Structures are given as C-alpha cells and as structure tokens.
Amino acid sequence: MPKLKTHKGAAKRVRLTATGKIKRGHSHARHILTKKTNKRKRHLDIDVLVSKADHDRVMSMLPYGRD
C-alpha cells in the first residue's frame, strides 16, 4: 500500500489539538483593517475549531496528524 500524501494547503491552515480536534484561523484579518472595528479585529485573531460538518473532510487531507 503506498503512503498517503498530506494536502499541503490544508496543513498550512489548520492544526490538530491534543484531543484530535482541528483548529483554524479566521479569514479577513490580514489587510483593509482600518474600516473594521477593534472588537471585530480582536475576535478575528482568536483561533476556532473546524465545524463538525467539515471535520472528516479536513482529517482526510491530513492523514498523518495525531492518532
């Protein structure tokens, strides 16, 4: 059986927690920040978990994450 390839785009965007959940960052936090409120920018900086609907899809792209 050949080795599976990690989806490098997904690997750069998400991290696995110790319990097997997937953390991701927010979009819209890199530029054009002057029109966004301080509260909005502050919340965009906080990492969140990938939704349950997308969890299996992302895990298939990262075959060699934590077991």
Convert the chain into a string of H (helix), E (strand) and C (coil). CCCCCCCHHHHHHEEECCCCCEEECCCCCCCCCCCCCHHHHHHHCCCEECCHHHHHHHHHHCCCCCC
In this prediction the pTM is 0.83
Q: Look at the block and give the residue holding tokens 């920040």.
A: 33
Q: Which CATH number is 8-61's, of 3.40.50.1970, 1.10.8.420, 4.10.410.60, 3.20.20.190?
A: 4.10.410.60
Q: Look at the block and give the residue holding tokens 């927010």.
A: 26
Q: Say which residue, 65 or 14, is predicted with more confidence.
A: 14
Backbone angles phi, psi at 49, to 5 degrees: -85, 150
Residue pLDDT, tens place only, 26-56 = 999 999 999 999 999 999 999 999 999 999 9
